[in-house]
Amino acid sequence: MATGRLIRNYNLSHAIQGSDCGEVLIHLNMKMRVLLCVLLLGFLGVCHGGGLRKNFYKNSCPQAEDIIKSKTQQHVLANPDLPADLLRMHFHDCFVRGCDASVLLNSTATNTAERDAIPNLTLAGFEVIDDIKSEVEAKCPKTVSCADILTLATRDAVSVQFNKSMWEVLTGRRDGTVSKSSEALADIPRPSFNITVLKQRFAIKGLTLQDLVVLSGAHTIGDAHCILFSNRLYNFTGKGDQDPSLDATYAEFLKTKCKSPSDSTTTVEMDPDSSTKFNSDYYTNLLQNKGLFQSDAALLTQKKSADIAKKLVDKKIFFSEFAQSMKRLGAIEVLTGSAGEIRNKCWVVNS
């Protein structure tokens, strides 16, 4: 029931853009805000990114988006893995306390931050955002949020191979001041999840089944550690068996890379042969039972999600759907107006 409500409210919030619930609700904690959004304001569609707009920095920092784009392009040329690093980082940011750059905060003496919750959350991304931020600060001090920089840089990094922007990014996000590893563990879906739990985790963030299937297509780029799926190869039910829903030939191939069930350091391409190319091969592979994680394979276990996956094999449809779902991802529980702050440095809150 709660799931249905969230999804309906969410769709409404797209029809009516407008005022800013971040400001009204600034003094309430996240759970209360989400609850209030759903119960009281949701029907008006004021939540979920209502405070974002196109080109928010037009007057305050007209060169911001260009700086971010050209810096990002430079970094991608030096590191072809960057689009995947940033895409995953942005997803994790948005799923924990909304897209507020909480993922970028360092741990402190008294707090373990989100970025230290997920083993090996790739480091390259952090340094790149810090580098872009310092360039933006030099031109427009204390103006452009780390949350917007991460959102724009993610879009720009994925877009490099196409030499055009692959989706629209609205701006006006502000930065959060809290980052807790415990929340990352609670909110971020795990690769072992089934379709029921995946749907729930996305619905809590106002995202639909369609968004789940479309955004899983992000696994068309990047790498994954063996340990996150090796149970499918070596010991699926504790009897030394393989996951029968995984293509047997592909499983044999994966075993040549992941040589033992406990290998925690080796990584493999998630989309073999085109792991740096953003395309719709993810769905082609998925439909051949070559999805890498159980969470990928789970998309085929219900007719509705399987039917969506079949449509997304068409690259044109995938790109257009991905653009829409990324906009929704980038609007999750954003801080706008006078909520949060504009961080001076992305890895530490302002003192």
Q: Which residues are catalytic?
A: 92
The nearer residue to ligand HEM, 104 or 212, going by C-beta atoms, is 212
Q: How far apart are CA 307 and CA 310, in angstroms?
A: 5
DSSP letter at 174 equals: B
90 is in an annotated binding site: no
Counted residue by residue, the chain has a size of: 351
Tell me if 127 sits within 8 A of 116, measured CB to CB.
no
Which of helix, strand or coil describes residue 225? strand
Residue from 64, 128, 203, 228 touching ligand HEM (CB under 6 A): that is 228
DSSP letter at 235 equals: -
Cα angle vertex 53, ends 52, 56, to 5°? 105
The site map against ligand HEM for 28-67 (x = CB under 6 A) is ----------------------------------------
**Residue 267 makes contact with ligand NAG by CB under 6 A:** yes
Residue 74 interacting entry, from ligand NAG, ligand HEM, none, C-beta within 5 to 8 Å by type: none
Residue 194 interacting entry, from ligand NAG, ligand HEM, none, C-beta within 5 to 8 Å by type: ligand NAG
Amino acid at 82: L
Considering only CA atoms, which of 4, 43, 44 is closest in space to residue 204?
4
**Residue 343 makes contact with ligand HEM by CB under 6 A:** no
The nearer residue to ligand HEM, 55 or 196, going by C-beta atoms, is 196
Residue 269 interacting entry, from ligand NAG, ligand HEM, none, C-beta within 5 to 8 Å by type: none
Q: How far apart are CA 15 and CA 62, in angstroms?
A: 28
The nearer residue to ligand NAG, 4 or 119, going by C-beta atoms, is 119
**Residue 216 makes contact with ligand HEM by CB under 6 A:** yes
Residue from 80, 189, 261, 337 touching ligand NAG (CB under 6 A): that is 261
Residue 155 interacting entry, from ligand NAG, ligand HEM, none, C-beta within 5 to 8 Å by type: none
Residue 345 has φ and ψ, to the nearest 5°, of -130, 135
219 is in an annotated binding site: yes
Q: How far apart are CA 206 and CA 200, in angstroms?
A: 10
**Residue 347 makes contact with ligand NAG by CB under 6 A:** yes
Considering only CA atoms, which of 269, 266, 261, 306 is closest in space to residue 286?
306
98 is in an annotated binding site: yes
116 is in an annotated binding site: no
Tell me if 293 sits within 8 A of 228, measured CB to CB.
yes
**Residue 350 makes contact with ligand NAG by CB under 6 A:** no
Type and span of the H or E element at 267: strand 267-269
**Residue 297 makes contact with ligand HEM by CB under 6 A:** no
Handedness of CA 227, 233, 238, 240 (dihedral sign): negative
DSSP string of 160-176, one letter each residue: GGGTS-SS---B--BB-
Tell me if 91 sits within 8 A of 329, measured CB to CB.
yes
**In the complex, least distance from residue 269 CB atom to ligand HEM, rounded to whole angstroms:** 9
**In the complex, least distance from residue 285 CB atom to ligand NAG, rounded to whole angstroms:** 23
The site map against ligand HEM for 135-154 (x = CB under 6 A) is --------------------
**In the complex, least distance from residue 323 CB atom to ligand NAG, rounded to whole angstroms:** 18
Q: How far apart are CA 37 and CA 148, in angstroms?
A: 22
271 is in an annotated binding site: yes
**Residue 351 makes contact with ligand NAG by CB under 6 A:** no
Binding site residues, as ranges? 93, 96, 98, 100, 102, 114, 189, 219-220, 271
Q: Which residues make up the interface to ligand HEM (CB under 6 A)?
A: 84-85, 87-88, 91, 120, 122, 189-191, 193, 198, 212, 215-216, 218-219, 221-225, 228, 293, 295
